[in-house]
Homo-oligomer: A and B are copies of this chain.
Amino acid sequence: MLKLSKKVEYGLIAIRHIASLGNQISTVKEIAERYNIPNELLAKVMQKLAKGKVIYSYQGSLGGYTLARAADQISIMDVIHVIEGTQPAIAECLGKIEHTCSVYDNCTIKNPLEKIQYNLEQVFSSMKVSEIV
């Protein structure tokens, strides 16, 4: 409950890794080995980040990835959004056009949930990948 997916975790790790090397080109293999992340899974994450223009990809031998912008310009929200394909939603009734929830019509917590949702979005949008406690 309320967990980030592994994909998002791996994405954050990868972005921070590339940033830590001064935005040199990095490969999936290199990152996966360094952090003990399943290669194929990380590969998919990187592909999504590239598609979402958070990172650049370079194909072919000597290929790899660099950041598309500085790490302090990449929010946690950017990463979540690009990897998951949707805004994070604490309940299925939020952020959808189709309302498939069986409770929907009688639901008394839609509005409160929206408020929670809004606050979470603030948290994730305001935090950049570069931030370290």
Binds B, one of A22-30, A48-56, A58-66, A113-121: A113-121
A2 to chain B: closest CB distance in Å? 4
Chain B contacts for A131, CB-based, 8 A: 112, 115
| A133-B108 CB under 8 A given contacts A2-B120, A8-B1, A89-B3 | no
Contact B2 A109 (CB under 8 A): no
Question: Scoring A residues 101 to 133 as 1 if CB is less than 8 Å from chain B, else 0, what string do you get?
Answer: 011001111011111100110011001010111
Q: Does A13 contact B (CB under 8 A)?
A: yes
Determine the residue in chain B with the shortest Cβ distance to A38.
Answer: B102
Q: Give the distance in Å from the alpha carbon of A115 to the alpha carbon of B123 in the complex.
A: 10
Q: Which of A55-106 contact B (CB under 8 A)?
A: 76, 80, 84, 88-92, 102-103, 106
A90 pairs with B4, CB closer than 8 A? yes
On whether the beta carbons of A88 and B127 are closer than 8 Å, the reply is: no
Tell me whether B91 and A115 are in contact (CB under 8 A): no
Contact B109 A133 (CB under 8 A): no
Give the residues in chain B near A114, CB-CB below 8 Å.
133
* A69 smallest CB distance to B (angstroms): 18
A contact residues vs B (CB 8 Å cutoff): 1-5, 8-9, 12-13, 16-17, 20, 34-37, 76, 80, 84, 88-92, 102-103, 106-109, 111-116, 119-120, 123-124, 127, 129, 131-133
